[in-house]
Amino acid sequence: MKKRLLWNLLFVIAVGTVVFFWLIDLISKHTEESMSFIDVSYREELREYAREAERILYEEGEDALEIWVKEVEEREDTWIAIAQSSITTLSNTSLSQSYTDNFWLGRSLEWKIHLYFAENPTMDIFFEDGVNHFLIQLPQRMRPGSNLLIIDLILQIGIPFLLLCLITFVLYRHMMKPLKKLEKATRQFSKGQLDVRASDGFSHRDDELTKLASTFDHMAGRISRLITDQRQLLADLSHELRTPLTRLNIAVDCVEQNLDSDKALERLRYESSNMQGLIDDALTLVWFNTESPKLDLEDLEITSLLQVIVEDAQYEFSQHKVRLIQLESEFFIKSAQQALTAALENIIRNALFHTPIGKTVTVELKQKIDNITIEVRDQGYGVPEKYLEKIFKPFFRIKQENQDTERSVSSKKSGYGLGLALAKRQVIALGGSIYAENLSHEQGAGLMVCIQLPYCASLTQRRNE
Ligand SMILES: Nc1ncnc2c1ncn2[C@@H]1O[C@H](COP(=O)(O)OP(=O)(O)OP(=O)(O)O)[C@@H](O)[C@H]1O
Ligand SMILES: [Mg+2]
């Protein structure tokens, strides 16, 4: 799901907060409701007062009742009255029976008490005679909801505060845990631990932070590959330079001692130009590796370019045959001439170098549905299957005697093992791909190196013109 973290946060914060405050409101109302009634024991006490008043009135008379009332009023710090209710209507009007039946001078003990009224309500208890009312202003000690303020504070400030703190803490942990892992991985990586990856600890989640971790891993993978390749390249390069440098030193010694100076000078020239070539190739390779450059593409007529390359190769390897199988008409592609020529020259030179004298190297241009293909087929001994991919790695060469790898021996005839590595990067920079495969006996044995180049739709038109 896209933006999972956002949806999670939205759910927890928006939905959670609304539900939470709705619950708090519900609980507050319920608590307030349950606190709005006079306690049962107090109700009984008040009824007892009423019964006592009725008894005194009928058994001891009004004077005794007055004394008792005064005493209770003092004790409870309130007022008490014994009253009769009779309503006189005017102008020949009359009250409904149900109204007179339910007429109260004060409030029933069972009724709800308004907690926010400043004055205590007057309670009304009927005497047994059904005529007199025992009226008493509710004593303060019996008033319900005395701890309403505290409960309100707890429900509306205390609990929301604690719960929001908890939610903030949980959200913080939810966000910070992966960020901390990422921060740790970044720190380790910056200290040189190139194999460290961040997304290992993210398997249980799938959100924006997981994406961040996998982007980090992608970056770490690329940087560590670059660094490893660079280190390897540097090690190989210094190794490769050792032999020509030794030969250079020997030649310099010869010149100093006037021993066969001409030959030594010739050797000096040869070795230095060799080293120059090696360093140029290595630097170009480093440039391709680090920059991943996008080459400027131009309209290139491929058939005449192949013609020139093949003629040059035939001239250089006059004892071999170089055959070109072309398309019938001109064919334009979008490409960079310099890079494509360099790659093709490398591959064709390899093919000729590994093909016995008198045999043929074939270069064939094919037009496919979605690309154009250039195949270079030779009649040499091919490459062991296990090395078909490795020959595109820098400084990788195959020993001819036992067909084993060799990274150190450089002779006058064999190169440094940079040609195919460069060709691969050049073809990739042109938007194409390259691979090698061994040919069957029927196909003439040997190796085939195949370049596939993208085919630009706009150029089809020019071809047909
Ligand atoms: N056509 C081929 N037939 C057999 N082996 C080949 C062929 N082309 C390349 N190889 C093997 O692949 C290795 C790598 O080739 P690559 O062109 O990269 O290096 P190189 O030719 O040895 O040196 P460089 O091209 O740098 O002068 C070669 O050393 C060779 O062993
Ligand atoms: Mg080569």
- Do 309 and 440 reside in the same domain of the chain? yes
- Do 433 and 323 reside in the same domain of the chain? yes
- Do 423 and 350 reside in the same domain of the chain? yes
Does residue 189 sit within a domain?
A: no
Which residues does a 6 A CB cutoff place in the pocket of ligand 1? Answer: 346, 350-351, 354, 378, 380, 382-383, 391, 396-398, 414-421, 447
Query: What is the per-residue pLDDT for 463?
Result: 47
The answer, yes or no, to whether residue 460 has pLDDT greater than 80, is no
Measured CA to CA in angstroms, residue 221 lies from 218, 229, 286, 293, 389 at distances of: 5, 12, 17, 19, 21
Does residue 92 sit within a domain?
A: no
Instruction: Supply the range of the domain harboring residue 64.
Output: 40-84+99-142
- Do 344 and 454 reside in the same domain of the chain? yes
- Do 265 and 327 reside in the same domain of the chain? no
Does residue 186 sit within a domain?
A: no
- Do 223 and 303 reside in the same domain of the chain? no
How far apart are the CA of 233 and the centre of ligand 1, in A? Answer: 17
- Do 243 and 318 reside in the same domain of the chain? no
- Do 204 and 264 reside in the same domain of the chain? yes
- Percent of the chain predicted with pLDDT > 70: 94
Query: What is the per-residue pLDDT for 100?
Result: 84
Instruction: List, as one string, the DSSP characters of 114-179.
Output: -TT-SSPPEEEEE-TTSSEEEEEEPPGGG-S-TTHHHHHHIIIIIHHHHHHHHHHHHHHHHHHHHH
- Do 276 and 209 reside in the same domain of the chain? yes
Q: Is 411 helix (H, G, I), strand (E, B) or coil?
A: coil
Indicate the average pLDDT of the chain. 88
Does residue 215 sit within a domain?
A: yes
The tokens describing 376, both together, are 């270079």
Q: Residue with the nearest Cα to atom 29 of ligand 1? A: 397
pLDDT tens-digit series, residues 379-405: 999 999 999 999 999 999 987 654 444
Query: What is the per-residue pLDDT for 465?
Result: 45
| Positive or negative torsion for Cα 337, 343, 346, 350 | negative
The answer, yes or no, to whether residue 290 has pLDDT greater than 90, is no
The answer, yes or no, to whether residue 119 has pLDDT greater than 60, is yes
Averaged over 53-71, what is the pLDDT?
Answer: 95
Instruction: Among 260, 290, 320, give the residue marking a domain's end.
Output: 290
- Do 260 and 333 reside in the same domain of the chain? no
Which numbered atom of ligand 1 lies nearest the CA of 281? 26
Does residue 185 sit within a domain?
A: no
**Pairwise CA distance, residues 296 & 283, whole Å:** 20
- Residue of 409, 420, 439 to test ligand 1 pocket, by largest number of atoms within 8 Å of CB: 420
- Do 14 and 66 reside in the same domain of the chain? no
Residue for token digits 């707890």?
Answer: 154
**Pairwise CA distance, residues 323 & 332, whole Å:** 21
Domain CATH code at residue 61: 3.30.450.170
What are phi and psi for residue 361, nearest 5 degrees?
A: -115, 130
Averaged over 80-97, what is the pLDDT?
Answer: 90
Residue for token digits 């072309």?
Answer: 326
Does residue 90 sit within a domain?
A: no
How far apart are the CA of 247 and the centre of ligand 2, in A? Answer: 22
- As for how many domains the chain has, the answer is 4
Does residue 455 sit within a domain?
A: yes
Does residue 74 sit within a domain?
A: yes
- Do 223 and 255 reside in the same domain of the chain? yes
pLDDT tens-digit series, residues 178-212: 899 899 999 999 999 999 998 877 777 778 888 88
